[in-house]
Structure 1
Amino acid sequence: MFCPLTFLILYGSGVIWWKALLSGLGVGVGGLVLVLPFILSWGNVDRSLWSQEEHMKRQIRYREKLRQWENQEEDDR
């Protein structure tokens, strides 16, 4: 979102198009560098911190999915 906006603002204010494009790409790469570590760290949540109730819910959902997969395999035969 900020990359095209940066490009349009700079290009509209008289900056050469390729410098405006490089600046827009720089803003995009900088944003990714700042945000990507947070996105990647959310995937590595320590499940030992979850409540016992949440753990049980996940186990039940997993078992239901497993049953569905087994039923699909039986239907495919």
Structure 2
Amino acid sequence: MLLEASPQVQERLIEKGIEKGIDVGRLEEARAALRRVLARRQIELSPGDDARIEACVELKTLERWHDQAITAASASEALQ
């Protein structure tokens, strides 16, 4: 939500990812998968948690969070 309110920040994050050779499409898919797992488990994200997911440009981190979200009791536990 925070990044939607600040398109300039979102654009800079995308540019940083492209500069580092990061596949932005894979990051978006990983973020969406993580959010789906949390939603299916009825774990709500705070605006800060959602912004943290959106700002993450490390695919390995998003995958780790996804795996943790499968059994986590809270968003903070999933995003460790």
TM-score for the superposition, normalised by structure 1: 0.30
**Which structure's residues are more often helix, by fraction?**
1
Structure with more contact order per residue of length (Cα contacts < 8 Å, sep ≥ 6):
2
